[in-house]
Amino acid sequence: MTDETIQSPPDPNAAWRERTFGPAAARFGERREAFETSSGIAREPLYGPSPGGAPGEYPFTRGVQPTMYRGRLWTMRQYAGFTSARETNKRFHLLLERGQTGLSTAFDLPTQIGYDSDDPLARPEVGRVGVPINSLRDMEFLFDGIRLDQVSTSMTINATACFLLAGYVALARRQGVDSKALRGTVQNDILKEYAARGNYRFPVGPSMRLTTDLMAFCAQEVPSWNTISISGYHIREAGSTAVQELAFTFSNAKSYVRAAMAAGLDVDTFAPRLSFFFNAHNDLFEEVAKFRAARRIWARMMREEFGARDQKSWMLRFHTQTAGSMLTSQQPDNNAVRVTIQALAAVLGGTQSLHTNSRDEALSLPTESSVQLALRTQQIIAQESGVADVIDPLGGAPYIEALTDDVEARALKLIAEIDEMGGSVEAIERGFVQREIHRSAMQWQREVERGERIIVGVNEYRTDEAPPEIFRPDDSARDQVLDDLAAIREERDDSAVRASLGAIERAAKDGTNLMHPILEAVDRYATLGEVCGLLEGLFGKYRGPEGF
């Protein structure tokens, strides 16, 4: 048999390749030498076929961008926030210097619920875990030396998202940055707080109004901002399964879409800026399948159920964080291995952004050395492993395709059950979501205690070892937070603050968008506690269902 008689198999991706790369492949970074194995074997951009369709095409099972990481790597973020805005700013600069490509901000508990640091309820918690933000002055300290048009910033904030976004926009104005140039995300997902996390302040109805007011404001004023990061992460951290994580997250997402449309927003004006936040857990292949199924569920939901016409409205974009609940205080170095596997799952699943937890977070806030190791984990996966050189490298594998189908089918069944109850708000108010998460968490714990589920270093392979170095916050910095708060109250124009708070009250009563008067109040150095205290007086305070 001669070489001429050997027929090459047909390329199942020929049509996709022509559409994606065409004759100008170089513009996508298709340099052959950059995508070869150590043996000189060229890595093709896509292998298949896969029933998930082509990357960058509906229903996006194989990825939301046609070239995925061959065109651009995911954003590497490390969550940071502690003691004070000044101290957190130092950590931000350290991370940026060491190669981080986006900022991710952790706020302390009083800030997340809406209390000033000198409130008697807040004082014991100030700056212990997360950065306290009382006013625009703290935002100025937090981003000192950082141009807001040069970074993408994620803020894990929900009940008080309007205040924190207003602070970011007001700070951008002081820097001379147009709000239309700002890029980032506020989590702004209050429903999962009622179901899984507990950092709420106002009742559901007013909270949903604040969420949609922020979405409407950004559509006009901050168009490149992700107005909500609908979070499955905290649902999973509370003990849910992978299937429940998707089902409860997408049920919440449907409630937000309905609320925004009921407020008069066209679906294609806000849906392209919706983003998601998922957990990367230990079961490598189930997690990959979960991410692939998530894209398919969202695409079909938006197109078929909500009638979205813009393809960007169908594209599920998500940030991933490795599983904090899987970190162990025993043998903490083992956590570096767990985080690597979880991060790999996120990358193989096609995440757009990733945070890798530090090995010592089960013991304390992370040290600088452990944060660097967590960041290096992402960089090594990106630059040394080869997994970023191929789009959806596991797509087409029988196990992955079967798992993707099974996760999708089970999640859709649970979503339908919630729909029959009247949607996620009703399911949360009945306590259904909370009970289901609790059952799953209890089952997991019992399996660990019985030895049916092995946790290395916890119920097997245990050793005695000296505790590692841990990070200890600077308590004197907490005093500085209180001093700064007192100083801003002395320096500001109190009459201007009172006038701006009055404008918030009028907007709350007459139904106009609250973001504009909140931005004005923040710009005049009204404090978080003043704004949220006013809103609580008008809206009331949330009380959960009995037993939760």
Q: Read off the pLDDT of residues 437-459 as tens digits, 9 standing for 90 and up.
A: 999 999 999 999 999 999 999 99
Last residue in a domain, options 449, 479, 503: 449
323 neighbors 279 (Cβ within 8 angstroms):
yes
pLDDT, one tens digit per residue, over 30-51 is 444 468 888 989 888 999 887 8
Contact status, residue 295 vs residue 61, Cβ threshold 8 Å:
yes
What tokens does 434 get?
């909370």
Q: Report the chain's mean pLDDT, rounded to a whole number.
A: 92
pLDDT at 126: 86
What confidence tens digit (pLDDT) does each residue in 237-275 have? 999 999 999 999 999 999 999 999 998 999 999 999 999
pLDDT of residue 464: 85
Residue 246, helix vs strand vs coil: helix
Q: Are 148 and 172 in contact (CB under 8 A)?
A: yes
143 domain-assigned: yes
User: Residue 471 domain-assigned?
Assistant: no
Look at residue 31 in the predicted model and tell me its pLDDT: 46
One domain, residues 230 and 302: yes
Question: Residues 75, 185: one domain?
Answer: yes
State CA 334 to chain mean position distance.
Answer: 25
Residues 369 and 498 in one domain: no
Q: At what angle do helices 85-97 and 368-383 cross, to 10 degrees?
A: 30
Please indicate, yes or no, whether residues 511 and 433 belong to a single structural domain of this protein.
no
What's the pLDDT score for residue 34?
66
What DSSP state is assigned to residue 73? P
Backbone torsions φ then ψ of 325, nearest 5 degrees: -70, -15
> In 10 A of CB 51, how many CB atoms?
12
Is residue 529 over pLDDT 50?
A: yes
- % of the chain surpassing 90 pLDDT: 81
Q: Which residue's structure tokens are 């369709």?
A: 53
61 lies in some domain: no
Residue 252 lies in a domain: yes
Q: Which residue has the higher pLDDT, 77 or 172?
A: 172
Which pLDDT score, from 0 to 100, does residue 29 have?
Answer: 44
Token pair for residue 378? Answer: 């992402």
Q: Is the dihedral of CA 386, 392, 395, 399 positive or negative?
A: positive
| CA-based R_g, the chain, Å | 24
**Residue pLDDT, tens place only, 182-231:** 999 999 999 999 999 899 999 999 999 999 999 999 999 999 999 999 99
Position 477 in a domain? no
Question: Are residues 495 and 442 located together in one domain of the fold?
Answer: no
Spatial distance between the Cα atoms of 170 and 133, rounded to a whole number of angstroms: 14
* Integer angstrom CA distances of residue 232 from 193, 253, 409: 11, 10, 18
- Residues listed for the chain: 548
Helix ranges (H only) for 318-469 are: 334-348, 368-383, 398-421, 424-430, 432-449
Q: Average pLDDT in the 399-415 region?
A: 98
Residues 468-507 have pLDDT tens digits of 777 777 778 888 999 999 999 999 999 999 999 999 999 9
User: Would 24 be classed as within a structural domain?
Assistant: no
Q: What is the pLDDT of residue 122?
A: 93
Q: How confident is the model at residue 10 (pLDDT cuts 50, 70, 90)?
A: confident
How far is residue 300's CA from residue 308's CA, in Å, rounded to a whole number? 10
Same domain, residue pair 111 and 225: yes
Strand order in the sheet with 228-231: 225-226, 183-186, 152-156, 102-106, 75-80, 353-355, 318-322, 274-280, 228-231
Q: Tokens 């207003």 label which residue?
A: 166
Asked if residue 404 and residue 510 are part of one domain, the reply reads no
CATH number at residue 375: 3.20.20.240
pLDDT at 101: 78
- Quick check: is 459 in a domain? no
- Indicate the SS3 state at residue 506: helix
In this structure, the answer to whether residues 277 and 405 fall within a common structural domain is: yes
pLDDT of res. 465: 82
The 8-class DSSP code of residue 52 comes to: T
Mean pLDDT of 154-179: 97
Arithmetic mean of pLDDT, 280-291? 98
Residue 434: how many other CB atoms lie within 10 Å: 19
Q: Is the peptide bond preceding residue 366 cis, with omega within 30 degrees of 0?
A: no
Which positions ≥6 away from 187 have C-beta within 8 Å?
A: 154, 155, 156, 157, 158, 161, 228, 229, 231, 277
How far is the C-alpha of 204 from the C-alpha of 535, rounded, in Å?
13
Q: What is the Cα–Cα distance from 87 to 144, expressed in whole angstroms? A: 11
B/e letters for 385-414, b = 16+ CB within 10 Å, e = fewer, are eeebbbbbbbbbbeebbebbbebbebbbeb
Question: 12 pLDDT band (50/70/90 cuts)?
Answer: confident
Q: What is each CA distance from 66 to 19, 70, 72, 371, in whole angstroms?
A: 9, 9, 11, 32
* In a shared domain, residues 122 and 233: yes
Domain boundary among 420, 449, 478: 449
The count of domains in the chain is 2
pLDDT bucket at 524, cuts 50 / 70 / 90: very high
Classify residue 131: in a domain, yes or no.
Answer: yes
**Domain identity same for 523 and 407:** no
Q: Is the pLDDT of residue 1 over 60?
A: no
- Local confidence band at 419 (pLDDT 50, 70, 90 cut-offs): very high
Find the helix or strand (DSSP H, E) in which 250 lies. helix 242-262
SS percent in the chain: helix, strand, coil, step 5 = 55, 10, 40
Query: Token digits for 327?
Result: 């970190």
Task: Looking at the structure, tell me whether residues 386 and 339 fall in a common domain.
Answer: yes
Mean pLDDT of 510-536: 98
Task: Kindly tell me if the per-residue pLDDT of 4 is higher than 60.
Answer: no
Domain that holds residue 211: 68-449
For the record, the structure tokens of 446 come out as 């019992």
pLDDT in tens, 49-102: 878 789 999 999 999 999 999 999 999 988 888 889 999 999 899 989 988 878
Smallest CA-to-CA distance from 519 within 500, 492, 491 is with: 500
Distance, CA of 112 to CA of 133 (rounded, Å): 9
Q: Please report, in angstroms and rounded to a whole number, the separation of the first and last CA atoms in the chain.
A: 75
What is the residue type of 199?
A: N
Q: Are residues 404 and 256 in the same domain?
A: yes
What pLDDT does 119 receive?
95
pLDDT for residue 26: 41
What gap in Å lies between CA 355 and CA 359, rounded to an integer?
Answer: 13
Locate tokens 């502690």: which residue? 82
| CA 320 – CA 196 distance, rounded (Å) | 18
Residue-level pLDDT at 127: 74
Report pLDDT for 61: 97
Per residue in 317-374, pLDDT (tens digit) is 999 999 999 999 999 999 999 999 999 999 999 999 999 999 999 998 888 899 999 9
